[in-house]
């Protein structure tokens, strides 16, 4: 299943753009990325600090399964993104439930998952912020970037291509497999 790719220069939030596309009935599975977010969102109403140079994306697609356990989707998204980032960093990445990825106990990635009901269909929006080249300063939170960890500039397009490819495979498998098989595949 191919994801439509939308690249933007500046948005309030990539998740907000995904929601708007769903509301406009542009329902093809889509990956949205932006160079900057002016009002990035995190879980529980928190703000995601979006600094130019980092990677901000949202992916949305229809969930066709009849029984949905949202916690399982959150876990699968965390495992999937952990595997992708590990391919670039070669460092051990830990999942801080439910939505953070850490390297050496420092936040490298945040994941915001939203479920949307529209026209009797259910859609999953997965917002992802990865600190690729800049470490934002956040009170009460240890943060790093891939650039700090690897001591080299990171090409966001390389990571974006890998995320797109992995999510295309994931979405295709998601409606065919059971969660146990997907969890086993992505939690290696």
pLDDT one-digit tens code per residue, 108-165: 999 999 999 999 999 999 999 999 999 988 778 899 999 999 999 999 999 999 999 9
Residues 6+ apart with CB under 8 A from 165: none
Range list of H helices, the chain: 14-23, 70-89, 146-150, 156-174, 179-186
Class of domain 4-186: alpha beta
Asked whether residue 103 carries a pLDDT value surpassing 90, the answer given is yes
CB 129 within 8 A of CB 110: yes
CB atoms near residue 140 (< 10 Å): 4
What pLDDT is stored for residue 25 in this prediction? 96
| Claim: this prediction has a pTM higher than 0.85 | yes
Cα 1 versus chain centre, distance:
18
Show me where the domains of the chain are located.
4-186
What pLDDT is stored for residue 89 in this prediction? 87
**pLDDT tens profile 70-83:** 788 888 899 999 99
What pLDDT is stored for residue 177 in this prediction? 66
Asked whether residue 68 carries a pLDDT value surpassing 90, the answer given is no
CA distance 66 to 56: 30
CA distance 169 to 80: 11
């Amino acid at each position: 299943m191919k994801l439509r790719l939308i690249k933007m220069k500046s948005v309030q939030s990539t998740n907000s753009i995904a929601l708007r596309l769903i509301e406009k009935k542009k329902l093809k599975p889509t990956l949205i990325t932006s160079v900057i977010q002016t009002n990035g969102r995190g879980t529980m109403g928190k703000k995601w600090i979006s600094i130019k140079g980092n990677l901000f994306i949202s992916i949305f697609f229809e969930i066709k399964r009849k029984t949905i356990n949202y916690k399982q989707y959150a876990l699968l998204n965390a495992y999937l993104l952990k595997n992708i980032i590990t391919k670039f960093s070669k460092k051990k990445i830990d999942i801080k439930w439910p939505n953070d990825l850490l390297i050496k106990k420092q936040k490298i990635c945040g994941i915001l998952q939203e479920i949307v009901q529209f026209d009797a269909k259910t859609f999953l929006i997965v917002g992802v912020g990865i600190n690729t080249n800049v470490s934002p300063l956040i009170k009460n939170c240890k943060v790093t970037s891939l650039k700090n960890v690897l001591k080299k500039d990171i090409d966001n397009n390389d990571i974006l291509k890998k995320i797109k490819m992995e999510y295309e495979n994931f979405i295709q498998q998601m409606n065919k497999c059971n969660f146990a098989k997907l969890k086993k595949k992505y939690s290696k």
